Structure 1
Amino acid sequence: MRLAFRVDASVQIGTGHAVRCRTLARALAARGHEVAFLSRHWVGAEDIPLTRLSPAITEPDADGPAHAGWLGCAWSEDAQHTAQALAHNPPDWLIVDHYALDARWERVVAPHAARIMAIDDLADRPHACALLLDQNLGRAEQGYQGLVPAEARLLIGPHHALLRPEFAAAREGALARRGGPLRHILVTMGGVDKGNATGAVLDAIGPLSLDVTVVMGAEAPHLRAVRAQTERLGARLVVDTPDMAGLMAAADLAIGAVGSTSWERCCLALPTLALVIADNQREAAQALAAAGAAEIVDAPTALPARLAHYRDSPAALATMAARAGAVTDGRGLERVVEALESA
Structure 2
Amino acid sequence: MNVVFRVDASVTIGTGHVMRCLTLARHLKQMKANVSFICRRLEGDLINFIKDNGFTVYILSKVMVSDRDNNVIFNWYKENWQQDAHEAQCLIKSHIHSVDLLVVDHYGLDEKWESTLKPFIKKLMVIDDLANRKHVCDFLLDQNLYLNYEERYKNLVPPECKQLLGPNYVLLREEFIDASCQKRIRDGKIHNILVFFGGTDPTNETIKALNALALLENNIKVNVVVGSSNKRKDEIREYCDRYPNFFFHCQVPNMAELMNEADLAIGAGGTTTWERCYLGLPSITIIVADNQVELTNAVSKFGATINLGFSHEVTSEQIFEAVKDLIEHPKKVQLLSERASKLVNHKIVNTYPVVKTIMEELK
Same fold (TM over 0.5): yes
Contact kept in structure 1, 2:188 and 2:332, CA below 8 Å: no
| Aligned AA (2:25) | A
Inter-CA distance 325–67: structure 2 relative to 1 (3 Å threshold): farther
Tell me the number of residue pairs that the alignment of Structure 1 and Structure 2 aligns.
Answer: 338
**What CA deviation, in whole Å up to 9, does each residue of 1:268-315 have, x standing for no partner?**
000110011112211111011011110111413211211121111111
What's the Cα RMSD here? Answer: 2.1
CA apart distance, 1:243: 0.6
SS of 2:223 mapped into structure 1? strand
Query: Alignment partner of 1:319: what SS?
Result: helix
1:341 aligns with 2:347: no
Alpha-carbon spacing, 1:296–1:6, altered in 2? closer, same or farther (3 Å): same
2:181 pairs, out of 169, 172, 178, with: 172
Aligned to 1:109: 117
SS of residue matched to 2:287: coil
TM-score w.r.t. the length of structure 1 is: 0.93
Letter in 2 for 1:223: K
Q: Residues 170 and 274 of structure 2 are in contact (CA less than 8 Å); yes or no, is this contact kept in structure 1?
A: yes
Q: Structure 1 residues 58, 19: closer, same or farther in 2, change over 3 A?
A: closer
Matches of residues 76-225 of structure 1 in structure 2 within 5 Å? 76-88=82-94, 89-138=97-146, 139-174=148-183, 176-208=184-216, 209=218, 210-225=220-235
Give the 3 Å change call, closer, same or farther, for CA 212–258 of structure 1 in structure 2. Answer: same
SS class of match (2:321): helix
In structure 2, the gaps of 5 or more residues are none
Query: More deviation in 219-228 or 298-307?
Result: 298-307
Match of 1:249 among 260, 263, 275: 260
Q: Is the 8 A contact 1:6 1:96 kept in 2?
A: yes
SS at structure 1 position matched to 2:113: helix
Give the 3 Å change call, closer, same or farther, for CA 58–36 of structure 1 in structure 2.
same
Counterpart residue type for residue 61 of structure 2: S
Q: CA deviation at 1:58?
A: 10
Partner AA of 1:75 in structure 2: W
| Separation of aligned partners in 1, 2:12 and 2:351 | 26
- Following superposition, the deviation at residue 78 of structure 1 comes to 0.3
2:355 aligned partner, one-letter code: V
Identity %: 37
User: Using the alignment, how far apart are the partners of 2:38 and 2:212 within structure 1?
Assistant: 40
Change (3 A) 1:292 1:211: same
Which of 239, 246, 251 lines up with 1:240 in the alignment?
A: 251
Q: Distance in 2 between matches of 1:333 and 1:229?
A: 42
Alpha-carbon separation, structure 2, partners of 1:181 and 1:92: 50
Partner Cα separation in structure 1 for residue 222 and residue 327 of structure 2 = 14
Distance in structure 2 (CA, Å) of the matches to 1:244 and 1:214: 11
Amino acid at match of 1:17: H
CA shift for structure 1 position 71: 3.8
Deviation string, structure 1 residues 229-272 (Cα, Å, up to 9, x no partner)? 11112300111110110000000010000111110000000011
Q: Which residue number in structure 1 is paired with residue 297 of structure 2?
A: 286
Q: Secondary structure at the match of 1:99?
A: coil
Amino acid at match of 1:165: E
Moved more, 147-156 or 293-302: 293-302
For 2:119, what is the secondary structure of its paired residue?
helix
Query: Following the alignment from structure 2 to structure 1, what is the Cα–Cα distance between the partners of residues 326 and 189?
Result: 8
1:266 corresponds to which letter in structure 2?
A: C
Q: Please state if 1:271 is matched with 2:282.
A: yes
2:307 is aligned with 1:307:
no
Relative distance call for 1:332 and 1:286 in structure 2 (3 A) is farther
Q: Say whether residues 1:74 and 2:80 are aligned partners.
A: yes
One-letter code of the match for 1:114?
K
Contact 1:159 1:332 in 2 (8 A): no
| SS across alignment from 2:215 | coil
Q: Assess, with a 3 A threshold, how the Cα gap between structure 1 residues 303 and 70 changes in structure 2: closer, same or farther.
A: farther
Preserved CA contact (<8 Å) 1:67 1:99:
no
Name the CA shift for 1:221/1:144 in 2 (closer, same or farther; >3 Å).
Answer: same
In the TM superposition, residue 332 of structure 1 has moved relative to its aligned partner by: 6.2
AA at the equivalent of 2:273: S
SS at match of 2:306: strand
Aligned equivalents of 2:227, 2:208: Cα separation in 1: 17
Q: Distance in 1 between matches of 2:64 and 2:326?
A: 53
Deviation at 1:183, TM superposition (A): 1.1
The equivalent residue for 2:13 is 13
- Whether 1:49 aligns to 2:60 is no
- In structure 1, the gaps of 5 or more residues are 60-64
**Residue 58 and residue 268 in structure 1: after superposition, are their counterparts in 2 closer, same or farther (change >3 A)?**
closer
**SS in structure 1 of the partner of residue 99 of structure 2:** coil
